[in-house]
Amino acid sequence: MTISTPSPSAPIGIFDSGVGGLSVLRHIRAQLPHEHLLYFADSGFAPYGDKPEHLVVERVLAIGNFLVEQGAKALVVACNTATVAAIARLREHFPGMPIVGVEPGLKPAAASTRSGIVGVLATERTLSGAKFLQLRDQISAATGARFLLQPCHGLADQIEFGELDSDATDALLSRYVLPLLDGGADTLVLGCTHYPLVQASIEKIIARATDRHVTLVDTGEAVARQLARLLANAGLARTADVARLDGYTSASATALSAAFASLLGLDPPVHEVESGPGGTMLIGPNN
């Protein structure tokens, strides 16, 4: 796709299969407070983890096209599953554009562990991906760290539904976290962008289960740092004072507005997006 030369005043496009990417947006707003941001929650197509890879790739390219049409100068794939499946294709599609993905923080986890055992909480798709497994093997060989992989079926869905501290979510977290602690892990990687949104609940489960210190690794901060580097290198960093935030969703604008309010204390304008012919995306007529 041919795009015009972007300017520093153009926005950054951030997207996820739902509200999980708000954990990444939170770090980007903190580190890059002058940047205009566009956030796309693809809740109407979620979850990505149970979709065939080629459909995830098609969806990611369609969202990338939509955000670029809205003027985005850079893209952040704020979803582990989408990063694994499609970021290479996205970079081919938009050569030269700053594009940042998220990956489970295995390297910082290996650096912080004292027991040498790291637990990784992520989706089945992420944990079974060739790129992830290659990274695990490389870091394990280099550092001696042992990684315990824990697929978290249904957890992202609970968070997407707004069930951040319900009994059902607590039960899921206990089912996934406790075996890792029992296995000797003293560092846990939050390997899905949804999971930092329930970090407080995870910390409570850890406190009930053990007296030892357990480090939680959230890679959103590293994503924001990498984005800042790429923008600076490309001469695209914005330095003006007032920044705006706009939300887009393939599902309910009301639901995304509620997530912005409850998770980040924000009230940006939110627009519903519809699928058009040939996989295109269009802002709905009532927005």
Annotated catalytic residues are: 79, 192
DSSP for residue 283: E
Lookup: tokens for 203: 């910390």
What is d(CA 219, CA 240) in angstroms, rounded to the nearest whole number?
27
Give 82's contacts (C-beta < 8 A, 6+ positions apart): 15, 16, 17, 48, 56, 59, 60, 101
| Residue 186 backbone class (left: φ over 0; alpha: ψ -120 to 50; beta: rest) | alpha
DSSP labels for 2-42?
A: --PPP-TTSPEEEEESSSTTHHHHHHHHHH-TT--EEEEE-
CB of 13 closer than 8 Å to CB of 74: yes
Where b means 16+ CB within 10 Å and e means fewer, 5-22 reads ebeeebbbbbbbbbbbbb
Lookup: tokens for 82: 């989408």
Give 92's contacts (C-beta < 8 A, 6+ positions apart): none
In the chain the first and final C-alpha atoms are separated, in Å, by: 26
Tokens 């996989």: give the residue: 279
